Structure formats: structure tokens, C-alpha cells
Amino acid sequence: MAYVPHTPHLGLQPIATTILPGSSSLVLGRGAPGPFLGDIIRAEDPTYGVGEFIYLKGVAATVVGSLVTYDQYLNTTTIAPATGGNGPVAVAMSANIAGQYGWYQIAGAAVVKAPNAMVVGADVFMLAATPGSVDDAPVNGEQVVNAKVSTTTGTPSAGLAVIQINRPFLQGQIV
């Protein structure tokens, strides 16, 4: 994925990278101010089109495509629990682990961890066996609202699928 930012801002960190603490204000050594935690930008990829991304702190065990919950006030992320929950979610664009900072997708065609086969057009649910992964099997309290399956698992590669998202959140209610 090669997203190019549309949002005018000096010194933006590339979408699919992470940076370490202490370098968050100076991206890539250019001396320009970097993004602030919680910044939201638009960027475009030649394959996946335009998306929106939020800049957040990383969390342990994050891989590309992990679904995370986040709290903008506390500046925290958590791998989305396999048992559902509630609150906003985003898709990791890099292996943004604890102690690092990076971009998470909140709108557009997102590449997400999806180890089980899914049906195009289905609703999205958390995968009970794997935190941070999605499935299309309906489970009470585990729906990811504002998300629809766009491709079956294996596209773009093994263990991943594309889902269409628009500021998704876990609803934490019985369906």
C-alpha cells in the first residue's frame, strides 16, 4: 500500500511506517513538525483509493491489518477484543507496537486481518478466536458498525481481506 497524503501538512510521516518516541515532532529528520496524536488526514492509494487516517500510539502485538480500539482523550489503543466491546475502531497501517506512533485507517477500503473465509457484502464482526481480526459470522455484541466485507479472505493476500469502513465502531450490543 502506497498511500500519498492529500491533506496539506508539512512533514507528515508516511502512512505505512511507524516512528519511535522522541522523533514524533520531527518526521524523517526534515525539521518539519510531524502530526499530532489524534490528527486525521486523507490519503490516496492507487489500488485502494482515498481513505482517512488517524495518528495514534501503538500497542503490543499490532501487525498490519490489526483492528484496534482507541481513545483520543487518553491517547491509547488496544487490540480490539475478540469478545467485542464498544467504542471507535481503526485498522493498523503498520506494525505499530507499544512505544511507537503511526497511522490507523478509519475510512475507505481497509486491508484487515481476516483468517476465515468471508462473503462479499456481509456485515463485519470480531473474530472470537483472534483479537484484532474480523469475520462475517454474526455474534451477539461483536458487530463492527459502519463496515462491510468487500473481498473474501485471501485478497489481497493470505489472512487478509478488504472491508469498506466509515468511522467504524464496536456496538457492544446484542444483534
8-17, 128-137, 165-174: lowest mean pLDDT where?
8-17
Q: How many CB atoms lie within 10 A of CB 9?
A: 14
pLDDT tens, position by position, 52-92: 999 999 999 999 999 999 998 888 899 988 777 789 999 99
- Cα angle 56, 17, 143 (rounded to 5 degrees) comes to 50
> Going by DSSP bridges, is the β-strand pair 101-113/49-57 parallel, antiparallel, or unpaired?
antiparallel
Please report whether residue 5 resides in a domain.
Answer: no
Enumerate the β-bridge partners of residue 102: 18, 56
**Confidence at residue 171, expressed as pLDDT on a 0 to 100 scale:** 80
- With a pLDDT cut of 70, the percent of the chain lying above it is 85
Confidence of residue 156 (pLDDT cuts 50, 70, 90): very high
| Domain ranges, residue 137 | 15-21+37-170
Q: How many domains does the chain have?
A: 1
Q: Is residue 137 part of a domain?
A: yes
> For residue 27, is it within any domain?
no
> How much is the pLDDT for 73?
87
Question: Which is it for strands 76-79 and 134-135: parallel, antiparallel or unpaired?
Answer: unpaired
* pLDDT reading at 173 higher than 70: no
Domain membership flag for residue 140: yes
Q: What sections of the chain are H helices per DSSP?
A: none
Cα–Cα distance, 144 to 46 (Å, whole number)? 26
Does 57 reside within a domain? Answer: yes
Q: Is residue 142 part of a domain?
A: yes
**Residue 7 counted as domain residue:** no
Give the predicted TM-score (pTM) of the model: 0.85
Is the pLDDT score of 136 beyond 90? yes
SS3 57: strand
Q: Is residue 78 part of a domain?
A: yes
